[in-house]
Structure 1
């Protein structure tokens, strides 16, 4: 049995998200793959992270780029083979890192064998593995629910004369977790990867796991001021965050606890603080880390950011461990949202707040959203709802490793356009002490060296319209952090010895420079 400290490695660890299509291509088809990830692991070791989370690489028609799974226990040939996965897992563990996979529990592909059986007839044994309903008495969908990607959540099936539910695309039918056989099959899929040595899962869109059509229409969102037909135009009162979701989460956690070193579960559930906090579980028997997306959606303003940090800290259940994230494959990059001048301040915030941080690939280089020409758009969200700024292609553009053809990412044509500006690649930043890459490395070394930054308590010290200051404390050791959100020099109110500055001068004293983040040892 592993000791408790090792079993809770995630409390001091840093997670790095890999979007496999865009990380590294090993075979020249323009799409990243598992062998490509393995070939670049040393970059992550030098960066100083502790765990890798890889977005889906399972067999899929790729209608939603892997989030429409047709087989939960294999590897899509686009990304390699099961042998490639085994080699990657061994290489990750050989470097002392952990490996998390993405688990997509709420829907499969419409080409999954389960769904093909389910839709074959009303009396098929797997019919109830998905959510089917009759039309309303006068015809039409059973409820007014709107799918995340637009349109009704209900798709008519002519062959069996019923509608099936999908929360995203029609090609992603909703799995019925209320059916015991379906639930067991999904847990078996998780067990398949756990048994092979995977250290945990990031669980996708789990708030959609137990929609309840019996409760009827979702109410209108009176506060919504956006376009009609958007999913936010209705309040998801009956389609998300249902009480039965927490039974699903507890079952997942119970499975994770059956292993000598308990597996980590990170849950994706967007919502208000009160909503996603519930995913810890009433007895902390839910996810160890329900993703906290407060800063990924926030206006980049010190007063707002400080307020969200305080509100989150106050809401955490006793004994729950916090986490922070500034970017992922579904949201605009932080260097675009906050501005490239603030990217270093954002990195300092992410890596010095209390809790487990997750870094999205490329953020360590200061990557920004890449402009995607209309004829290169592939994201179904943008295709289905054009002109609303919902497309996710800009933040999914491939990472550049060098200044050569294909950015060192591929010898072929990359699946999405790349940002090839000088300096925005790994090779260029390796030798530049002032680069974002080396800034991240310095921050991560400092974090590892200072227990107060990894596990210390948190307290806001001061905040105004430009500067946010807070402290971390452990065993009497006090670390202060000052973040200048403005492009003007500002007074530095924290004394003490400077340990880190985003300016590159780690002995810097005096006023905060424009866009500076500074970490100091307080008396």
Structure 2
């Protein structure tokens, strides 16, 4: 059955502020610039390339773009190491290109939300270059320095997230600087008021250029106390976020999303509670971590556990029932492709992609689509370590080999969880390199681009793209989808996920088979009878039967009558 055509996305309001925040009904789309669209054939995506694809996003119904970093950077960590916060990296374009992107997106009813990376800068930032040359300059206090231990070694044994020590020695000043990630990413000293004002002034500068807000990278680290070895959600975090709100965000109609790998049910509303005056929502990763080994981490993934996944997902729905707001996502630039991680990316790829979309987009919150997700892109399944480009993956490979882990064992984990799987080029067509570039891409395109691409998907009768477009339109148009409360159904079922949404007398019922086998379920009587099917993975059916047989990765969503 053909997919229904949704209404066109609304244009950006320029008059009085709406009664509800605009982002309550909007869907975000994350662009990883170096992998989205290359306009000049150098193998690297760029801002003009993004502009050329804005109609694709407008057709999808996207309300705002989360743009991963395009700032000037040596690209040690693919732009998450910024050398100048007020300039654009040459490979991505110019400030004029950025201004044009903001204007062209706005003309299509799309806002731009930029990545804010202020836990650390690049070691090539002017601040750090001054700081490493002398203890006497003001910039020295913009970073975190400590004297050597008695034996001349690092101040403590803290390990960096990307491998090795978190401390690097600088002979010119006779001190070590702290870097939570790599030595190329020295941590900023947020306890320095002058540093904080530099950050706030930069944020105001970008907002005045017309962006619609910030996604705040690892923001939970800025309140750290290194002497107490308290890093995530340190003692100063919420004081700094409240100050940031007062100094920059208050009175502006903008969106702020914090990223925190440590936020929990107990601390979630400290970030986004309506009276906290901090952030609008937070990316939390409890449902992601359920797929990691508890001790060995992401490169030793464990089998997907649907019950644990549901517990994490619906705990946050419960937390934000009356306060706060959810950021809904299953994939981003740091995560594997969702259809490969949660489902079947071969035989049932298209159905699984549609099912994952239905489950996520009909929850309460603001959904985020990661580039390529809307056509069901998959992990690349690299065969050699030299095909990887990700700093984290390469560093951990070296550490694991030293520890005696066979290369093929590490590669098995990397092929499930490496960040590079989300960073392979966007697959626009079956042309060489997926239509991403006329040159040689900075990372290999997934070989399946000949069959999995935008052109072929849009022409399929069960298009993943059309399914996403319908779901995005439903959020814009339906009060029930946007604001209804969520109640889980079958919480202990190991194969089936189901939930209900309620708003007044309106009810929505969603059910999805997360297994590769047929599943038969007796449905509660309160859900059975006449309904209006608004989303389906295979074929629609209007009635809600007392006993429902679900094919592998089949899903339905009904408005109950």
Distance (Å, rounded) in 2 between the aligned partners of 1:66 and 1:507: 48
DSSP 3-state at the match of 1:385 = helix
Residue 3 of structure 1 deviates from its aligned partner by 4.2
Distance (Å, rounded) in 2 between the aligned partners of 1:107 and 1:163: 15
Tell me whether 1:262 sits opposite 2:253 in the alignment. Answer: yes
Residue 145 of structure 1 deviates from its aligned partner by 1.2
More displaced 10-residue stretch of structure 1: 505-514 or 69-78: 505-514
Write the mapping of 1:302-451 to structure 2, written as runs, cut at 5 A.
Answer: 302-316=306-320, 318-339=322-343, 340=345, 341=348, 342-372=352-382, 373-386=384-397, 387=410, 389=414, 391-421=418-448, 422-451=450-479
DSSP 3-state at the match of 2:149 = coil
Residue 376 of structure 1 deviates from its aligned partner by 2.9
Tell me whether 1:68 sits opposite 2:81 in the alignment. Answer: yes
DSSP 3-state at the match of 2:266 = helix
Tell me whether 1:468 sits opposite 2:497 in the alignment. Answer: yes
DSSP 3-state at the match of 1:5 = coil
Do the aligned partners of residues 475 and 101 (structure 1) sit closer, same or farther apart at CA in structure 2, a change above 3 Å counting? same
Do the aligned partners of residues 461 and 382 (structure 1) sit closer, same or farther apart at CA in structure 2, a change above 3 Å counting? closer
Residue of structure 2 aligned with 1:273, choices 253, 265, 289 = 265
* Aligned match of 2:275: 283
Contact between 1:256 and 1:264, CA under 8 Å: does it hold in 2? no
Contact between 2:26 and 2:475, CA under 8 Å: does it hold in 1? no
Unaligned runs of 5+ in 2: 1-13, 292-303, 398-409
Residue 346 of structure 1 deviates from its aligned partner by 1.3
Contact between 2:66 and 2:112, CA under 8 Å: does it hold in 1? yes
* Aligned match of 1:456: 484
Distance (Å, rounded) in 1 between the aligned partners of 2:537 and 2:28: 21
* Aligned match of 2:540: 505
DSSP 3-state at the match of 1:424 = coil
Distance (Å, rounded) in 2 between the aligned partners of 1:320 and 1:282: 6
- Deviation string 1:421-440 (CA, Å, 9 cap, x unpaired) is 23310000111121222221
Do the aligned partners of residues 6 and 86 (structure 1) sit closer, same or farther apart at CA in structure 2, a change above 3 Å counting? farther
DSSP 3-state at the match of 1:140 = coil
- Deviation string 1:258-317 (CA, Å, 9 cap, x unpaired) is 44x422110001123334443225832111111132333334444223322332233348
Unaligned runs of 5+ in 1: 219-237
CA RMSD of aligned residues (A): 2.0
Write the mapping of 1:287-302 to structure 2, written as runs, cut at 5 A.
Answer: 287-299=279-291, 300-302=304-306
* Aligned match of 2:244: 252
Contact between 1:403 and 1:420, CA under 8 Å: does it hold in 2? no
Do the aligned partners of residues 239 and 257 (structure 1) sit closer, same or farther apart at CA in structure 2, a change above 3 Å counting? closer
TM-score (ref. length: structure 2) = 0.85
DSSP 3-state at the match of 1:330 = coil
DSSP 3-state at the match of 1:190 = helix
DSSP 3-state at the match of 1:310 = helix
Distance (Å, rounded) in 1 between the aligned partners of 2:203 and 2:430: 40
- Deviation string 1:60-96 (CA, Å, 9 cap, x unpaired) is 0011110110000111110001111111100111111
Tell me whether 1:102 sits opposite 2:102 in the alignment. Answer: no
Tell me whether 1:480 sits opposite 2:499 in the alignment. Answer: no
Distance (Å, rounded) in 2 between the aligned partners of 1:298 and 1:211: 26
Residue 332 of structure 1 deviates from its aligned partner by 1.1
> After TM superposition, what 4+ stretches of structure 1 lie above 4 angstroms from structure 2?
1-4, 506-510
Residue of structure 1 aligned with 2:521, choices 479, 491, 496 = 491
More displaced 10-residue stretch of structure 1: 338-347 or 20-29: 338-347
Residue 213 of structure 1 deviates from its aligned partner by 2.3
* Aligned match of 1:226: none
* Aligned match of 2:297: none
Distance (Å, rounded) in 2 between the aligned partners of 1:118 and 1:185: 15
Residue 508 of structure 1 deviates from its aligned partner by 7.1
Residue 135 of structure 1 deviates from its aligned partner by 1.0
Distance (Å, rounded) in 2 between the aligned partners of 1:78 and 1:214: 39
DSSP 3-state at the match of 1:144 = coil
Distance (Å, rounded) in 1 between the aligned partners of 2:268 and 2:180: 19
Do the aligned partners of residues 356 and 513 (structure 1) sit closer, same or farther apart at CA in structure 2, a change above 3 Å counting? same
Write the mapping of 1:102-181 to structure 2, written as runs, cut at 5 A.
Answer: 102-181=115-194
Residue 475 of structure 1 deviates from its aligned partner by 3.1
* Aligned match of 2:72: 59
Distance (Å, rounded) in 1 between the aligned partners of 2:198 and 2:466: 45
Distance (Å, rounded) in 2 between the aligned partners of 1:441 and 1:509: 24
* Aligned match of 2:401: none
Contact between 2:71 and 2:88, CA under 8 Å: does it hold in 1? yes
* Aligned match of 1:233: none
Distance (Å, rounded) in 1 between the aligned partners of 2:385 and 2:312: 36
- Deviation string 1:200-231 (CA, Å, 9 cap, x unpaired) is 0000011221321222xx5xxxxxxxxxxxxx
* Aligned match of 1:221: none
Tell me whether 1:33 sits opposite 2:68 in the alignment. Answer: no
TM-score (ref. length: structure 1) = 0.91
